[in-house]
Amino acid sequence: MALSLLVFERTDSPGWTAATYALTTLPALLSGVFLSGLADRFPRRTVMISCDLVRMVLVGLMALPGMPLPLLAGLLVLAQLAEAPFGAAQGALLPTVLGAQKYERGQRVMQITHQVGQLVGFAGGGLLAAWLGSNLSLGVNALTFLLSAALVTFGVTARPAASADARKARLGAQVGGAAALIWSDRRLRSLLALGWLAGFVVLPEGLAAPFADEAGGGASSVGLLLAAHPAGMVLGVALLGRAEVGDESRRRLLGPLAVGANLPLLAYWLDPGVGMAVLLLLVAGVCSAYQVTAGATFVLLTPVERRGQVLGLARSGITAIQGIGVAVGGVATELTGSSANTIGASGLLGVLCAILAAAAWSRARGADAQMIPRRA
């Protein structure tokens, strides 16, 4: 958030603000494809710690006063390259720790923790940026990576690499094998499509600063807009995780909830104020909780020794689509002069794609009686 505000303060441009936000996601395409395999080649705990330390140094450099925007953007790209291998190692390690039966429950706990962290960060980010300034806020962000590395070091048991053969495999063969595995299994294909719908829902985040400016809000309004979707996801994850909602019911709801996650964005065409936009994003967040079940099912259907590369490839696509969507949305806002209309159009396209993905998942789920293997 601090970076988005910094760029909008300097340029007063929705396009540059959205492009900067996109830079936080686009490097994941390269990183997810070529670096996520590190989570299979090396001990996953070691990969996580190394990625955190690299990001701490790079974000710390970004916090230096007077940093030129091109150099700031370059450091941002480098820092984001470490996100994919960290996420792949974390995502591949969790099923090993919890087992298949407890994995989705653990995913819900992690998602709630993650979204609460986003909620606190976004809601307090505007106040922190106003109090400390954008540069010091980035400095605080750098320290959070050091804290994360310490928690992983002392809180996660060291384990050997998942596969001895992975270190011998060529990079191209490893990446190609992961892509072939996803494409050959229609369950994985449809789950991936449902996950990639996040590229539409993320647009209000990338355009939060220009939308708040159009609606007459300030930095605190940006924080509320960014916090609304994570708050909704926390509520949605809690509701879907109730004991009376069984695993099969959650999987049946994936399609309808994916459509529901995009529908509220259509109301942006009515030029809502900040308060109404917060409510719309809250509803979208509740429905977006389907991503937890979709992601958990995807991981459990993937062989344990290949989860790092497969999960990294899937996540890199999600992140890259988010970045492309935000960048295109920024350009569209520059041309039309209305971030609300851009978000509304994104919602319409998202609904149409969600209907197609939901139909594909329904066919794949109906063809396979045993969705989850007995062993994680």
The per-residue pLDDT for range 135-148, each reduced to its tens digit, is 787 888 889 899 99
Cα separation, 363 vs 177, in Å, equals 25
Cα separation, 72 vs 62, in Å, equals 6
Q: Please report the pLDDT score of residue 373 as a whole number.
A: 52
Task: Identify whether the C-beta of residue 108 lies closer than 8 Å to the C-beta of residue 237.
Answer: yes
| Dihedral sign of CA atoms 168, 173, 175, 178 in order | negative
User: Which stretch, 12-16, 219-223, 270-274, 318-322, has highest mean pLDDT?
Assistant: 270-274
Tokens, residue 96: 């090993």
Angle at 270 between CA 355 and CA 218, to 5 degrees: 110
pLDDT above 70 covers a percentage of the chain that reads 81
The per-residue pLDDT for range 238-264, each reduced to its tens digit, is 888 875 667 788 889 999 999 999 999
Q: What is the mean pLDDT of the chain?
A: 83
Q: Which region among 265-274, 323-332, 338-347 has the lowest average model confidence (pLDDT)?
A: 323-332
Tell me which DSSP letter residue 169 carries: S
The pLDDT confidence band at residue 277, using thresholds 50, 70 and 90, is very high
Whether the predicted pLDDT of 225 surpasses 60: yes
Task: Identify whether the C-beta of residue 56 lies closer than 8 Å to the C-beta of residue 149.
Answer: yes
Cα separation, 129 vs 63, in Å, equals 12
DSSP 24-39: TTTHHHHHHHHTTTHH
The pLDDT confidence band at residue 14, using thresholds 50, 70 and 90, is low
Task: Identify whether the C-beta of residue 316 lies closer than 8 Å to the C-beta of residue 15.
Answer: no
pTM: 0.76
The per-residue pLDDT for range 152-210, each reduced to its tens digit, is 999 888 888 766 565 556 666 778 888 899 988 899 999 999 999 988 998 898 888 78
Tokens, residue 78: 């480098």
**Mean pLDDT score, 293-315:** 87
CB atoms within 10 A of CB 144: 15
The pLDDT confidence band at residue 126, using thresholds 50, 70 and 90, is low
Whether the predicted pLDDT of 281 surpasses 80: yes
pLDDT above 90 covers a percentage of the chain that reads 28
N-to-C CA span, the chain: 37
Q: Please report the pLDDT score of residue 187 as a whole number.
A: 92
Q: Please report the pLDDT score of residue 199 as a whole number.
A: 86
